[in-house]
């Protein structure tokens, strides 16, 4: 018999499975090219050639016992050193090997951070709309997820609601910019306000409150937008980075955590992250892909492909009456549904072969998420379906 905790989680994940099954059913009926699946955040832009070249070179050059062997649970020291030096040059930081832990993507990173920090019933604050997996990750360590309601005019953190949510049990606040699902990049002024509020709360409660910046989309930014580096704003910051989107490598499970030396209880935290990586069963981030990162640290995917997709979809949707903030990053649009019930709206969209994700899955009912990391041609083909969906609502 499976655990009571897992029974609930399995039941909750049935929505995603149902969406996947529906996509397959529609593709069988109408042909894959006539089904417009905007439900998955799986990058369609190919990894840079440098990644393939690095894999071949590493496999040919390295001693196989070293390359495929166990290592320090925080990762290869030479790779952590390369990551630290790269970040120092890019963001004017003062990091070394000891500040970096290589992880199994952002998901692995977040889980070892939460394992490191949480006692049962400790509170983790998130801002709606948020990546739904946060609630599972917090639940893994018996923490309590506290959801700050959205500011739907900007989709930046709602500062007044944050102040009301902070308590003596607040262990950390998670932010995600560029954001999944809104595509918003948190501004310099938002980060300043956020930092001031957290400083104040630390004094009031005499606690350490950590800011966890979940950054798989840091490199996916458009129109020359800059993505502020949270370490410059608030001392107690963890950065959770991933190459899943920035190098289109989600299946390879590779990323890292940055913990600056100034963070409260730094030595204990680094020791705990190292042990958490081991005992959660990650043991260490994949060795071959750590080495790939060491060689490809300067590589990038072609973000202009996503920018072109964004423009095509955003321009069409807004021209037919959808209300939507123009995303500055990530590869999602988050328009308001054309009726208050976002789940019902997604069901109706399926009648036009459009697969969308309800905003309720991100703690933000009334909206829908569209992942535009699919081909430009497929988005072009989908536009008449969106027009028919809008007409359906306008004429009813
Ligand atoms: N955080 C956010 C906001 C995401 O959108 C995702 C994946 O889509 C993740 C974390 C997990 O990414 P990874 O593949 O690096 O574990």
d(CA 59, CA 82): 19
CB atoms within 10 A of CB 319: 12
Q: Please work out whether the CB of residue 131 comes within 6 Å of at least one atom of ligand 1.
A: yes
* Residue 289, C-beta contacts closer than 8 angstroms, at least 6 positions apart: 243, 249, 252, 253, 254
pLDDT confidence band for 21 (50 / 70 / 90)? confident
The CATH number fitting domain 50-296, selected from 3.20.20.140, 1.10.10.60, 3.40.640.10, 3.40.50.2000: 3.40.640.10
The CATH number fitting domain 4-48+301-394, selected from 3.40.50.2000, 3.60.20.10, 3.90.1150.10, 3.40.50.450: 3.90.1150.10
Please report, to the nearest 10 degrees, the dihedral formed by the alpha carbons of residues 258, 261, 266, 271 taken in order: 60
Q: How many whole angstroms from 64 Cα to the centroid of ligand 1? A: 30
Q: How many whole angstroms from 103 Cα to the centroid of ligand 1? A: 12
Atom of ligand 1 nearest to the CA of 214: 1
| pLDDT at 65 > cutoff 80 | yes
Strand blocks (E) in the chain: 36-37, 100-103, 123-127, 144-148, 170-175, 210-215, 237-242, 255-258, 332-333, 354-355, 357-358, 368-371
Give the domain ranges of the chain: 4-48+301-394, 50-296
Q: Pick from 373, 204, 380, 386: which is nearest to 302 by CA?
A: 373
- C-alpha dist (Å) from residue 367 to 19, 119, 127, 311: 17, 34, 15, 19
d(CA 8, CA 134): 16
pLDDT confidence band for 5 (50 / 70 / 90)? very high
pLDDT at 396: 66
Q: How many whole angstroms from 251 Cα to the centroid of ligand 1? A: 11
d(CA 346, CA 337): 8
Q: How many whole angstroms from 126 Cα to the centroid of ligand 1? A: 15
Q: How many whole angstroms from 204 Cα to the centroid of ligand 1? A: 33
Q: Please work out whether the CB of residue 176 comes within 6 Å of at least one atom of ligand 1.
A: yes
Q: What is the mean pLDDT of the chain?
A: 96
Cβ atoms 187, 194 nearer than 8 A? no
pLDDT at 34: 93
Q: Please work out whether the CB of residue 255 comes within 6 Å of at least one atom of ligand 1.
A: yes
| pLDDT at 388 > cutoff 80 | yes
Q: How many whole angstroms from 43 Cα to the centroid of ligand 1? A: 12
Q: Please work out whether the CB of residue 216 comes within 6 Å of at least one atom of ligand 1.
A: yes
Span 74-85, pLDDT tens digits: 999 999 999 999
Q: Please work out whether the CB of residue 157 comes within 6 Å of at least one atom of ligand 1.
A: no
pLDDT at 214: 98
| % pLDDT > 70, the chain | 99
How many residues in total does the chain contain?
Answer: 396
Q: How many whole angstroms from 159 Cα to the centroid of ligand 1? A: 24
Q: Best of 105, 108, 247 to mutate for ligand 1, by most ligand atoms within 8 A of CB?
A: 105
Span 169-186, pLDDT tens digits: 999 999 999 999 999 999
pTM over 0.85: yes
d(CA 310, CA 209): 36
> Per-residue pLDDT averaged across 314-340, rounded?
98
pLDDT at 16: 67
pLDDT confidence band for 139 (50 / 70 / 90)? very high
Cα-only R_g, the chain: 21
Q: Pick from 263, 207, 267, 264: which is nearest to 239 by CA?
A: 263
> Per-residue pLDDT averaged across 260-284, rounded?
98
pLDDT at 106: 98
Q: Please work out whether the CB of residue 43 comes within 6 Å of at least one atom of ligand 1.
A: no
Q: How many whole angstroms from 304 Cα to the centroid of ligand 1? A: 21
| pLDDT at 343 > cutoff 90 | yes
d(CA 156, CA 187): 8
d(CA 320, CA 69): 56
Closest residue (by CA) to atom 12 of ligand 1? Answer: 106
Span 71-123, pLDDT tens digits: 999 999 999 999 999 999 999 999 999 999 999 999 999 999 999 999 999 99
Q: Best of 108, 133, 135, 254 to mutate for ligand 1, by most ligand atoms within 8 A of CB?
A: 133
pLDDT confidence band for 24 (50 / 70 / 90)? confident
pLDDT confidence band for 18 (50 / 70 / 90)? confident
> Per-residue pLDDT averaged across 127-136, rounded?
97
Q: Please work out whether the CB of residue 103 comes within 6 Å of at least one atom of ligand 1.
A: no
pLDDT confidence band for 352 (50 / 70 / 90)? very high
């Amino acid at each position: 018999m499976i655990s009571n905790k897992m029974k609930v989680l399995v039941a909750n994940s049935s929505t995603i499975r149902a969406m996947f099954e529906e996509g397959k059913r529609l593709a069988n009926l109408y042909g894959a090219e006539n089904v417009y699946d905007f439900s998955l955040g799986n990058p369609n832009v190919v990894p840079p050639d440098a990644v393939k070249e690095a894999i071949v070179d590493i496999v040919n050059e390295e001693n196989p016992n070293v390359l495929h062997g166990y290592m320090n649970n925080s990762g290869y020291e030479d790779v952590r050193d390369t990551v630290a030096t790269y970040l120092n040059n890019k963001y004017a930081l003062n990091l070394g090997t000891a500040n970096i832990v290589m992880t199994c993507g952002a998901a692995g990173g977040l889980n070892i951070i939460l394992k490191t920090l949480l006692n049962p019933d400790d509170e983790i604050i998130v801002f709606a709309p948020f990546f739904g997996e946060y609630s599972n990750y917090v639940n893994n360590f018996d923490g309590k997820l506290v959801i700050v309601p959205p500011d739907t005019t900007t989709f930046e953190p709602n500062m007044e609601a944050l102040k009301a949510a902070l308590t003596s049990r607040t262990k950390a606040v998670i932010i995600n910019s560029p954001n999944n699902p809104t595509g918003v990049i948190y501004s310099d002024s938002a980060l300043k306000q956020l930092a001031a509020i957290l400083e104040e709360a630390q004094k009031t409660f005499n606690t350490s409150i950590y800011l966890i910046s979940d950054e798989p989309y840091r490199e996916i930014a458009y129109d020359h937008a800059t993505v502020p580096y949270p370490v410059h704003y608030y001392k107690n910051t963890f950065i959770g980075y991933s190459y899943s989107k920035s190098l289109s490598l989600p299946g390879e499970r590779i990323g890292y955590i940055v913990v600056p030396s100034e963070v409260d209880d730094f030595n204990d935290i680094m020791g705990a992250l190292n042990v958490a990586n081991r005992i959660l069963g990650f043991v260490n981030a994949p060795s071959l892909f750590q080495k790939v990162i060491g060689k490809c640290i300067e590589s990038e995917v072609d973000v202009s492909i996503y920018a072109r997709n964004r423009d095509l979809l955003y321009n069409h949707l807004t021209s037919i009456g959808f209300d939507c903030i123009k995303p500055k990053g990530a590869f999602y649009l988050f328009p308001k549904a054309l009726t208050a019930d976002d789940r019902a709206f997604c069901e109706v969209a399926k009648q036009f072969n459009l697969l969308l994700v309800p905003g309720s899955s991100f703690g933000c009912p009334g909206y829908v998420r569209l992942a535009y990391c699919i081909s430009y041609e497929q988005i072009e083909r989908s536009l008449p379906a969106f027009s028919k969906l809008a007409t359906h609502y306008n004429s009813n």
